[in-house]
């Protein structure tokens, strides 16, 4: 008797990952990946279950990533957010809330970062505006390496944005200081780089903890 299980990280789906990362019972992890119910697995030889569990545990250490700007899910095309300057307050608030329980909300995070394409020409595309009513369940079938790639790309993009924001705010502060030296006075409304960037830092750290072992291919 043998169980058919995923051989590579990319063979896993997001939905399978969500169960594997949150389930305490090894049989539940094997069940989601093999298609056998927990009850049927309970009747199988212990050596087979132990081998299957060890295989899946090892699989979780073989993380790889690839990023695609446009993916096709359930016959529809979804595009990754093309312009970070248009990342709205609502998107940010929901992202922070979802990150409080990352694996339970991983499909919702994916639905936030990937939206259905409304226009596409060559490498250019436009996506639907975020409504918080997107059907996130479609992304439960997304390959695990695409999920990893999405999070890595998001993390590095936000990291660069954070750096740019800090430089910009430091320039503002420097100009204000120079103005004060020239006798023009200085106001208390100068933005604080630390305060402004704190949210991006928290998000970056949350993603890094979730995917600290991810390697790109």
pLDDT digits (tens, 9 = 90+) for 42-94: 999 999 999 999 999 999 999 888 999 999 999 999 999 988 778 888 898 89
Report the candidate in 136, 111, 108, 115 with the shortest Cα–Cα distance to residue 70.
Answer: 115
Specify the pLDDT at position 174: 54
Q: Tell me, yes or no, whether 72 and 53 share the same domain.
A: no
Across-strand partners of 71?
78
Domain that holds residue 126: 65-141
Question: Can you list the positions of beta strands (E) in the chain?
Answer: 64-65, 70-73, 76-80, 114-121, 124-127, 215-216
Q: Report residue 16's pLDDT band, with 50, 70 and 90 as the boundaries.
A: very high
- Identify whether 40 is part of a domain: yes
CA–CA dist 188, 169 (Å, integer): 14
Question: Cβ contacts of residue 70 below 8 Å, gap of 6+?
Answer: 77, 78, 79, 80, 117, 120, 125
Q: Say whether both 122 and 154 belong to one domain.
A: no
Whether 4 maps to a domain, the answer reads no
Are residues 109 and 53 part of one domain? no
Alpha-carbon distance of 64 to 180, in angstroms, equals 52
Query: Residue 215 has what pLDDT?
Result: 40
Q: Does the predicted TM-score (pTM) go above 0.85?
A: no
Question: Residue 112 class from Cβ within 10 Å (0-12 exposed, 13-18 middle, 19+ buried)?
Answer: buried
Examine residue 153 and state whether it is found in any structural domain, yes or no: yes
Q: Quick one: pLDDT at residue 189?
A: 39
Are 118 and 83 contained in the same domain? yes
């Amino acid at each position: 008797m043998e169980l058919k299980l995923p051989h590579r990280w990319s063979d896993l789906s997001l939905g399978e990952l969500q169960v594997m990362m949150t389930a305490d019972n090894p049989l539940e992890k094997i069940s989601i990946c093999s298609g056998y119910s927990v009850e049927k697995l309970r009747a199988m030889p212990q050596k087979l279950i132990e081998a299957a569990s060890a295989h899946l545990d090892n699989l979780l250490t073989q993380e790889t990533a690839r990023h695609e700007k446009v993916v096709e899910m359930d016959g529809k095309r979804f595009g990754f957010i093309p312009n970070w300057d248009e990342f709205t307050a609502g998107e940010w608030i929901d992202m922070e809330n979802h990150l409080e329980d990352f694996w339970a909300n991983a499909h919702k995070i994916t639905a936030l970062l990937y939206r259905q394409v409304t226009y596409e020409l060559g490498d250019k595309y436009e996506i639907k505006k975020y409504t918080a009513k997107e059907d996130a369940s479609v992304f439960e079938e997304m390959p695990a390496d695409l999920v990893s790639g999405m999070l890595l790309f998001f993390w590095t993009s936000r990291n660069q944005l954070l750096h740019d924001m800090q430089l910009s705010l430091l320039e503002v502060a420097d100009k204000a200081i120079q103005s004060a030296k020239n006798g023009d006075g200085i106001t208390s409304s100068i933005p604080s780089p630390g305060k402004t960037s704190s949210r991006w830092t928290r998000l970056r750290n949350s993603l890094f903890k979730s995917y600290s072992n991810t390697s790109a291919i």
